[in-house]
Each structure stands twice: as structure tokens, then as C-alpha cells.
Amino acid sequence: MADKSKIWGGRFQSGPSGIAERISESISFDHVLYDVDIRGSIAHVNMLERCGILSEESSHKITDALRSIHAEIEQNGLEFSWALEDIHMHIEKILTDRIGDDGKRMHTGRSRNDQVAVDTHLYLKETIEGQSGLLLSVMKTILEMAEKYRGKIWAGYTHLQIAQPVLLSHYILSWFWKFARDFQLMQFAYSETCQNPLGAAAMGGPNYPVDPDMVREELGFGKSYENSMDAVSNRDYQLSYHFFASRLSLHISRFCEDMIIYNTSEFATIRFSDAVTTGSSIMPQKKNPDIAEILRSKSARITGNLNSLMMNLKGLPTTYNRDLQDDKVYLFDTIKNVTLILEGMKELLTNVIFFPDKLQKNLEAGFGTATDVADYLVAGYHLPFRDAHHISGAIVAIAEQKKVFINQISPADIATILKPFEDKYNIKINLNPAEFTVEKSVSRRGGSLSTSPEMVERQMDKARKLLEEIRLTCF
Ligand code: ARG
């Protein structure tokens, strides 16, 4: 007896074993595609009718029933059956149970291979549209923070050692540009996703004169694929989204890491408000930055999903193989976590307070103006940079030894350090370390990339303009 319970059961003597059904099912995760699956089917059936492949009567019966099935799933959910494998077969079964033979006509000129491709393209396309708003809102929040702390001094670190004073707005905006680049990557993934694969059928195209362009237009894609074999085997659009997500999550992770360090009692140069911290079950004094820590850890999971898809695809023969069914496990997990980290990042940004005044002292203690001393000697006395570097280093060493700030060193100590160089170059050097304040250090910085107040203002103007103009385009 043929296994009539399966849509593909015609040539089978018996059904798959229990474990085989559990292995092959995807309804437990692809049920979220019900909305795009039904919209895709409606577009397909409308096209079949307009191309004269399906009668008007059958087409209307199918699309009306699909609309009511959609409404019912929205309201009551969907009962899963392992035997029906995936969302496509669940919906087709409900449809045929409801309208009989006309329901069986829906799949004319189509395969689940291009059906699942159109579903995931549409689902991801609309997901990116929603997430682009979240990303822009993170960028806007960053810009507002930069504006709020205008003129305040912050420390720039290399090797996690104080390097040079910078404007706090400059530090904050350094994150803006990373997210702006992520937006471009998102746009790239979006362009690749904005393509219609329906019309590929199993892989060689259907035996009917279908018009994929009608489907493309109805579903809002920018173009259709050029090649049916490419359309059903391609997962590049997902890879691009995964890469965008991984890099975004990496940026968020690095930002969180900065905040976690600055929030320690040793640094104490920022503080999280209660909204984004949690307590310890044993140590009453603790206020832990768990939210930043979890956001940091999400990058591992998101990047893991990129890796999973790459491993899935590596060595996979063209065109469709069932391995590809698992792409949705990685995709949906990453989609969920991208929304989470974008919302979390915004929450974190609105719940962090910077203490720039505290850093002023740290900068002085950390000899953050030592480079300025060296550059002053180069600019004012034409000393070779290496000699100037040596003098400044010797000043730092004395300050360290005497436990004073660089601008508190005695004129006698300075004179001793300068003497051999004055003799060598036959010059008289006038050097007062008290002149080297952090504010002056910041204002002196030159060039369009620098942290000088003028350039940071210009940077904010550019960021503002970018936010006004930037938008996602389907091309
Ligand atoms: N659930 C399947 C998937 O997600 C649908 C495609 C099945 N195609 C096939 N040739 N068995 O990939």
C-alpha cells in the first residue's frame, strides 16, 4: 500500500520510521514562515492564473482559503505533525482538507526547493527592514551622546594604558562610524536578499510557461534570479546577513568590554544605572554589569551561526540537498539575537553615565601629555623626534620617581635633563611642563581625523547628515 499520508507518497510502499520523521521534520522551527509561505503561495497562484495555467475559479478558491488559513493561524496557532515535515506541507494539507482537489493544484509549476527559497528571502528581507530601524536608532543615540558630552575630556588607550587625551565625543563617535559601516554591510545583505527565486522549481525550471516577474512584483523583490540552479542552491544572501550580524555583534561586544572595564571600581570612569545591572545572591555590595556581559557573549553565538552555515555549505553538491533545511536553524537564531543585541545596546547607551572629570586626574597621573612635550621640542627647536622623545621620557621618569604629575616637576630637574641637548645643538630650550594641560593637548591635534574640538564638531555634522540621508534600498 502506498503511504497516502505523505504528499509525496505515491511511489512509497511504507512511511519513514519514527526517528526518520523526527530527523527530517523542520516544522518545529520553520513554522514561523507561515506568513511568508502563504503570501508566496498567493503570489504563485495569482501568477499561474494570469499565465493561463490555472483557472480563475480554482485560483480564487485557493487564495480565499489561504487567506482564511492565515487568519486562523494568527489567531489559534498551528498544530504540528512530524509526519507533515514542514510548514509548506502543513499549509498544503490544511488547504486540501478544506477545498479538496483545487488545493492539490496549488503546487503546480513549483517545488518546495524554490518555495522554501522564496519564503526565506521574503522573511529575511522584511526582517532586515525592521532591524535597519533598530540599527539607525542605535546610531542616533550614539550621536546624541556625543553631542551631550561636547567639550569634555576623555582618555584614549592603547594596550589599555593611557595614551593621549581625547574629547569624550571623539571616543563616542568612534563607535558611530563602526555601526555606520555595519549599516552598509546590512545594505549589502539586503540587496542580495531582495531577489525572487520562485520560478526555479526543483532546480531546472518548471514545465509551464510561468512568469517569475509577476511573483517578483507582487512580493516586492527588486529582481528575479537569472538561473534556476543558482536560485535553489544559493545561500549567499544568508551568509552575507550572518556576516553582517557577526561583525555588528563583535562591535557591540567590544563596546561592552570597554564599558565593563570603565565601570570597575579601579577605573570608575563610567557607571551603569540600575536598569542594566543586577545584584549578587551572596555579596550585597555587588552591582554587576551582567547585561553588557551577556551582550558580549551573544557575539560568540551569532558568529557560531555564521560558522555553522559555512560548514553546512562547504562541500555540498549542487543544487538542493536536505542539509540546506538546517540553514533556518542558524538564521532564525541569529535574527532573534540581532534584535536582542540592538535593543540591548540602545538600552545600555541610555543607561550609562560618563565621568570625564575623573579622567582629567588619571590623564595627568598617566602622563598623557608626554607626546605633546616631545612634539613641542620638535616644532619649537627642530630637535630630531627621537631626541625629543628621550627628553620627554626622562621627564616622565623623574615625575614617576618623585611621585608628582608631569606639570609639577621642578625647573632644576628640567634643566638637568635639557642640558646635554642644549649643548649638543647649541640652543637654549624654554620648557615649562605646566603648559602641557590636557585641554591644550586636545586642541593642538591637527588633521581632519583628529580629536581637536573643531574637527569633532565637523564629525558630528557629518554623522548628522549621514543619519538624514541613509536608507535601505532594494536594488
Ligand atoms: N523543509 C525543506 C527545507 O527547508 C523544504 C524543501 C524540501 N525539499 C526536498 N527536496 N525535500 O529545505
The reply to whether ligand 1 has any atom less than 6 angstroms from the CB of 112 is: yes
Per-residue pLDDT of the chain (475 residues; tens, 9 = 90+): 345 567 667 777 777 888 999 999 999 999 999 999 999 999 999 999 999 999 999 999 999 999 999 999 999 999 999 999 999 999 999 999 999 999 999 999 999 999 999 999 999 999 999 999 999 999 999 999 999 999 999 999 999 998 899 999 999 999 999 999 999 999 999 999 999 999 999 999 999 999 999 999 999 999 999 999 999 999 999 999 999 999 999 999 999 999 999 999 999 999 999 899 887 777 777 779 999 999 999 999 999 999 999 999 999 999 999 999 999 999 999 999 999 999 999 999 999 999 999 888 778 777 788 888 999 999 999 999 999 999 999 999 998 899 888 778 889 999 999 999 999 999 999 998 778 888 888 988 899 999 999 999 999 999 999 999 999 999 8
Residue located nearest, by CA, to atom 4 of ligand 1? 325
Check if 31 is active-site.
Answer: no
Distance CA 169, CA 167 (A): 5
**β-strand partners of 167:** 153
Distance CA 204, CA 230 (A): 10
Could you tell me where the DSSP H helices lie in 196-350?
Answer: 212-219, 228-233, 236-262, 290-313, 327-349
pTM: predicted TM-score of the whole model, two decimal places: 0.92
CA of 393 to the centre of ligand 1 (A): 67
Catalytic residue among 68, 273, 280, 297: 280
Q: Residue 151: left (phi > 0), alpha (psi -120 to 50), or beta?
A: left
The reply to whether ligand 1 has any atom less than 6 angstroms from the CB of 118 is: no
CA of 325 to the centre of ligand 1 (A): 6
- State the CB neighbour count (10 A cutoff) for residue 206: 20
Catalytic residue among 14, 159, 265, 448: 159
The full set of domains in the chain, from first to last, is 9-108 (1.10.275.10), 120-195+230-355 (1.20.200.10)
What kind and span of H or E run contains 23?
Answer: helix 18-24
- The residue length of the chain stands at 475
Task: Give the 3-state secondary structure of residue 16.
Answer: coil
Pairing of strands 352-354, 270-272: antiparallel
The reply to whether ligand 1 has any atom less than 6 angstroms from the CB of 201 is: no
The reply to whether ligand 1 has any atom less than 6 angstroms from the CB of 376 is: no
Check if 280 is active-site.
Answer: yes
The reply to whether ligand 1 has any atom less than 6 angstroms from the CB of 27 is: no
- State the CB neighbour count (10 A cutoff) for residue 268: 12
CA of 322 to the centre of ligand 1 (A): 6
